[in-house]
Amino acid sequence: VIPLEDLFPLEDYRFHLTIRKGDLREFFAPSDDRARVLAERRHWLQAEPEQYAALLPDGERLLAEWAAMVAAWSEGEAVRSVQQLGAQLEPDFLLLSQSPGGEFLLQGGAVVFPSSWSLPEKLGRTLDAIHDVVPGLNAALAPAISTFLTRLRPGGPAYLRSNWGLAATDALNLHPSRPRPALRPKLQPEQIWVRVEHQILVAMPETKGIVFGIRVVVHPLTEVLQSDRLRAGFNRAIKTMPPALAHYKGLSPVDRELVEWSRP
Ligand code: HEM
């Protein structure tokens, strides 16, 4: 996985692709927390199956190939629905296809631990349309993302990257339909968590569909503040993040506190 130091470089905030080769099977392998994570995933997938997993008809071939790949790791039988696969794997997964015009389309997946977005709302949309809500992202990176995904070799290596955000809860499921505490002034650092999304991207050999895996790891903000190096990188990121992006990420109400706490 990408270390926290790479998420908080000693430079002004900017969007970056920053990918490195990774191992697909290792990414989806059981963690020490497996029982707890899978129990929570099963809970949400049973309570609201359509909210947390979805598949378009054009995604069925992608799901079949992805389920077969997962089954081969454990020499088990391939499951048939996104709900079943979402309950078997600890990370979330998304399946994308490329249209003849070259656009990437979201065909389905299981997203039980979303960072404030809802899978059914994004289903069938292009990646650029999905990213449109992130201020400045497409302007900075859409062509680079598209080139990177187009060049992924079917059956070739997987690539890792990560994103981070902050939340006033360590809950894994931050679906927009769920109540949650807001980031607001007067919170203490102990009441804030850094939410890291470890991501993996790979193109499947047969359908050439793209699998996008997301594993959320939640760190106490105090962990970042306790390290001089991370503290400096975090301070720099908060200070230099464009206000529209800080607003999108929900950080604006606490930006002064964050800068103060992380002052080198
Ligand atoms: C390959 C390179 C990619 C890069 C560099 C990238 C980058 C980003 C960034 C920077 C954000 C904003 C997160 C934040 O700061 O809080 C974001 C959001 C998001 N990305 Fe990506 N992304 C990539 C691929 C994908 C793929 C393949 C999907 C699959 C559908 C995807 C779906 C999303 C979604 C759903 C959001 C949240 C949008 C919302 O808040 O409604 N991204 N992405």
pTM summary value: 0.96
Centre of ligand 1 to C-alpha 121, Å, is 14
CA distance 226 to 215: 24
CA-nearest of 102, 105, 110 to 85 is: 110
**Ligand 1 atom closest to the CA of 116, numbered from 1:** 40
Q: Give the up-direction half-sphere exposure of residue 86: CA atoms within 13 A in the CB hemisphere.
A: 31
Distance 76 CA to ligand 1 centre (A): 32
Tokens matching residue 176 = 């927009």
In this structure, the residues whose C-beta lies within 6 A of any atom of ligand 1 are 15, 17, 94, 96, 106, 116-117, 122, 127, 130-131, 133-134, 137, 141, 145, 148, 163, 165, 201, 212, 249
User: Is there a contact between 27 and 83 (Cβ–Cβ < 8 Å)?
Assistant: no
User: For ligand 1, what atom is nearest to the CA of residue 127?
Assistant: 30
Give dist(CA 141, CA 238) in Å, integer: 20
Residue 138 is encoded by which pair of tokens? 């497409």
Distance (angstroms) between ligand 1 centre and the Cα of 131 equals 6
Beta bridge partners of 12: none
The pLDDT tens digits for 81-132 are: 999 999 999 999 999 999 999 999 999 999 999 999 999 999 999 999 999 9
Residue 111 confidence (pLDDT) = 99
Mean of all residue pLDDT scores within the chain: 97
Name the residue with the closest Cα to ligand 1, atom 40. Answer: 117
The share of the chain scoring above pLDDT 70, in percent, equals 100
Mean of pLDDT values over 3-7: 93
Task: Read off the pLDDT of residues 178-235 as tens digits, 9 standing for 90 and up.
Answer: 999 999 999 999 999 999 999 999 999 999 999 999 999 999 999 999 999 999 999 9
> Could you give the percent of the chain with pLDDT greater than 90?
98
